[in-house]
Amino acid sequence: MRNCAAYAVACLALLACTVALAVAPPLTAQDAWIRATPGSDVAAAYLTVHNTATHAVSIVGVRCACAGHAMIHESTISNGQSTMRPREPLSIAAGATLRFAPGGLHIMLQGLTRPLAPGDEVPLELLLEDGGSLSVSARVRALGDG
């Protein structure tokens, strides 16, 4: 009987840990948006990500069902020349906020499977180093907005 009680307590503890992990994801996202690019199969997504964990969290990739390929990039200007390069993995320190914005970090969506129209909601999934992920919905804005 004592083994059954110990087993039950262990199961409850494991369940509590699982629920705690499900309730408190390490990253939160807000203000996710994509600039509409009429006539193109490429678009960029922007958002703000906050790490609520007490340790650094790394984003190792991104997925988007409506794009053949999605990747985190960073645009920089050096000697008057604009360049763009991949930025994966991307580590976010404990308690830090990271902004993906035009002219800097962004999610590059290539090979769009359909045109994106202003007002559309596009699901994105940030892939984390620990095997977890963060689902985000990005609203498409008109070319002149944002």
Closest CA to 67 of 49, 41, 92: 41
Domain residue spans in the chain? 24-141
Q: Which class is 24-141 in CATH?
A: mainly beta
Strands 27-35, 133-141: pairing kind: parallel
Q: Quick one: pLDDT at residue 119?
A: 95
Element housing 23 (H / E): helix 2-23
In this predicted model, what pLDDT tens digit does every residue of 70-81 receive, in sequence order? 999 998 887 888
Cis before 38? omega within 30:
no
Q: Quick one: pLDDT at residue 137?
A: 97
In this predicted model, what pLDDT tens digit does every residue of 19-74 receive, in sequence order? 445 556 799 999 999 998 888 999 999 999 999 999 999 999 999 999 999 999 99
Q: Quick one: pLDDT at residue 8?
A: 47
Mean pLDDT over each residue of the chain, to the nearest integer = 86
